[in-house]
Chains A and B, each alone.
Chain A
Amino acid sequence: MTPPALAARAVVVRFGGLTAVDGVDLEIEDRTLVGIIGPNGAGKTTFFNALSGLVTPASGRLAVGGVDLTGKPAHVFARAGIARTFQTPRVFADMTVAESVRFGLEFAGRHRRAERASLADVPAILDFLGLAGSAALTARAITPARQRLLEIGMALATRPRVLLLDEVAAGLTPAEVESVARLVRRCRDELGLAVVWIEHAVSVLLDAVERVLVLHQGKKLAEGAPSAVARDRGVIEAYLGEGAAEARP
């Protein structure tokens, strides 16, 4: 049996007296699309920070492809194939779109084989995202929606095995949200990536993913198929009660 692409076991993250992530387990197999939902302050982004090596868990283990990387710095996670985006796009404002994508290829991407032609070079990645027309513009000059695409492109340029997406659809119009959801699916279907997706717009996420993890106050509240989780009593009480009403027009 091959080890999972990314495995978190009993991960705990503390900030002073606050336990932001409290013993969460998660296994991500290759080529799966997993969603993480939870109310504000549930610990979703902190969990991502642990999964990408930006914060070191107080306890628990993290393994990428069966290799234990607990406590290693973020660039080691990147080289092992963990790529991520941030809640507010963190693009290199003064670099052009093409230079920004090249950045990922020059660092983590250089250490990894391009298994798909779509991740071979900058033009291929820009084509995949539909950003080829903006290649020569600086990142600060493109629209916020395209900055989100660019951020995904920078992450893809590291030629990852697992892609962690933190609210990539936040602040977008419904049409843009649809196209982001399609892009997320293509990352799995065409690039063969495992994708973990945090999203506040629950309905879009539940339609796209095949498994969903619900976090509440740092703990795992439920995990399973979207349809089952959406019917889970505890989940409805903790989150979907107001979340679903808000997300479904």
Chain B
Amino acid sequence: MRGQALAAVAGGGAVAAALPFLLDDFLLSLALSCLMYVALASSWAMFSGATRYVSLGTAAFFGLGAYVSAWTVATAPWPVVVAGGALLAAAFAGLAGLAILHLRGTYFAVLTFGLSELTRHAVTYGEKQYAGTVGRVLTAAPSSRTVYFTVLVIALAAVVVAIVVRGSRFGLALLGIGADEQRAQTLGVPTRGVKVAGFALSAAFAGAAGAAMAVRWTYIDPMAVFNPFIGLQTVLIAIVGGPLSLTGPLLAALVFSLLAELLRLQFPYAYLIALGLLLIVAVLYLPHGLAGLWQGRARAGRPAEAR
């Protein structure tokens, strides 16, 4: 099962790696945004899908990564820049997690949303105070091909980590926390540590993606990189795709980033309305997302015991 999944990832990765040699710039930028959402949605589902701690904080981690890139890209080697984005996001998520991961449900979701607002304002203030500017121009940016392959590696790593975590004891602990946290704890799961580690690991991918994507935009400001839309779209992709499945968020990331690029320019409102409706439909009727549709048969095939 795990071997098959990893083989599929390798295949998908090979196809994605060939794209820069086949596609024009416009299509390649579509593919890039696809990969970004694969990374964001897969890593989000790895933690929030399993534990049911719905985080709207992706934008905070993404934005922190982007700013690490803006601060260091001119001086540090590129891999260090991206790793720095991942590390800062993970460290921030770890600290924030210690403070807020005892809250569940809506409270947690609202607080993580607040987290991205908080970081946005903190960075705005810090930049004004110490750099005398709010936005930053990224001049020494690597080539767009480098950026593409970087984001591809991040996306592949996010999917591979999601697969490995799923088959591990750590992944089982995350699932137990999602099913009944207190019960899991009385069965020996160190819930606090597992939650903080999972949240930080998931944030690392958002931070890395932010660091890599920032240079694509050449100019960043807090409004752009801490955009709550990034967090919402990530949640939406994972939930519509199926927060507990591996393939669901992957396919949904593909479909949604295509839709976003194609519809957003021409019919911006129609796109946002469609997103909202899809989220409502998914939450009401597809608790396991679109992935639940094709997994539904297997589930229904399991006989219920006669009462």
Binding site for B on A (CB under 8 A): 52-54, 73-75, 77-79, 83-84, 86, 90-95, 103-104, 106-111, 134, 136-138, 141-143, 146, 154-155, 157-158
From B16-24, B152-160, B179-187, B202-210, the one touching the partner chain is: B179-187
Contacts of B169 in A (CB 8 A): 106-107
In the bound complex, CA of A102 to CA of B6 (Å): 25
Please determine whether B191 and A75 come into contact, CB atoms closer than 8 angstroms: yes
Closest residue of chain A to B179 (Cβ to Cβ) is A92
Evaluate whether A73 and B185 lie within 8 angstroms (CB atoms) in the complex, with A107-B173, A138-B302, A142-B305 already known: yes
B176 within 8 A of A: yes
Evaluate whether A73 and B190 lie within 8 angstroms (CB atoms) in the complex, with A92-B183, A95-B179, A143-B305 already known: yes
Binding site for A on B (CB under 8 A): 169, 172-173, 175-176, 179-180, 182-192, 302-305, 307
Contacts of B183 in A (CB 8 A): 86, 90-92, 154
CB within 8 A of B189: which of A90, A107, A143, A146?
Answer: A107
Determine how close the nearest CB of chain B comes to the CB of A61; give it in whole angstroms: 20
Please determine whether A83 and B186 come into contact, CB atoms closer than 8 angstroms: yes
Contacts of B186 in A (CB 8 A): 52-54, 74-75, 77-78, 83-84, 155
Contacts of B175 in A (CB 8 A): 92, 95
Please determine whether B188 and A107 come into contact, CB atoms closer than 8 angstroms: yes
CB within 8 A of A74: which of B173, B182, B304?
Answer: B182
Contacts of B179 in A (CB 8 A): 92-95
Contacts of A84 in B (CB 8 A): 186
Contacts of B189 in A (CB 8 A): 75, 107
Contacts of A93 in B (CB 8 A): 179
Contacts of B303 in A (CB 8 A): 137, 141
Interface of B is mostly: helix
In the bound complex, CA of A75 to CA of B304 (Å): 32
Determine how close the nearest CB of chain B comes to the CB of A11; give it in whole angstroms: 18
Please determine whether B185 and A74 come into contact, CB atoms closer than 8 angstroms: yes
Closest residue of chain A to B299 (Cβ to Cβ) is A138
Closest residue of chain B to A141 (Cβ to Cβ) is B304
Determine how close the nearest CB of chain B comes to the CB of A111; give it in whole angstroms: 7
In the bound complex, CA of A137 to CA of B183 (Å): 20
Q: Which 4 A-B pairs have the closest CB atoms?
A: A108-B188, A107-B188, A92-B179, A78-B188
In the bound complex, CA of A136 to CA of B303 (Å): 9
Please determine whether A109 and B188 come into contact, CB atoms closer than 8 angstroms: yes
Please determine whether A134 and B182 come into contact, CB atoms closer than 8 angstroms: no
Please determine whether B185 and A111 come into contact, CB atoms closer than 8 angstroms: no
Please determine whether A134 and B172 come into contact, CB atoms closer than 8 angstroms: no
Please determine whether B185 and A92 come into contact, CB atoms closer than 8 angstroms: no
In the bound complex, CA of A78 to CA of B173 (Å): 15
Given contacts A54-B186, A94-B179, A107-B184, 12 further A-B contacts (CB under 8 A): A52-B186, A73-B185, A75-B186, A83-B186, A90-B180, A92-B179, A92-B183, A103-B187, A109-B188, A137-B305, A141-B303, A155-B187
Please determine whether A104 and B307 come into contact, CB atoms closer than 8 angstroms: no
A-B contact pairs, 22 of them (CB 8 A): A54-B186, A73-B192, A74-B185, A74-B186, A75-B185, A75-B186, A75-B188, A75-B190, A78-B185, A91-B183, A92-B176, A94-B179, A104-B188, A106-B169, A107-B173, A107-B176, A107-B184, A108-B188, A111-B188, A137-B302, A155-B187, A158-B187
Please determine whether A103 and B190 come into contact, CB atoms closer than 8 angstroms: no
In the bound complex, CA of A107 to CA of B192 (Å): 14
Please determine whether B182 and A90 come into contact, CB atoms closer than 8 angstroms: yes
Closest residue of chain B to A112 (Cβ to Cβ) is B188
Determine how close the nearest CB of chain B comes to the CB of A206; give it in whole angstroms: 27
Determine how close the nearest CB of chain A comes to the CB of B306; give it in whole angstroms: 9
Contacts of B176 in A (CB 8 A): 92, 103, 107
Determine how close the nearest CB of chain B comes to the CB of A36; give it in whole angstroms: 18
Please determine whether B187 and A78 come into contact, CB atoms closer than 8 angstroms: yes
In the bound complex, CA of A126 to CA of B248 (Å): 34
In the bound complex, CA of A142 to CA of B183 (Å): 19
Contacts of B302 in A (CB 8 A): 136-138, 141
In the bound complex, CA of A52 to CA of B180 (Å): 16
In the bound complex, CA of A117 to CA of B154 (Å): 46
Contacts of A155 in B (CB 8 A): 186-187
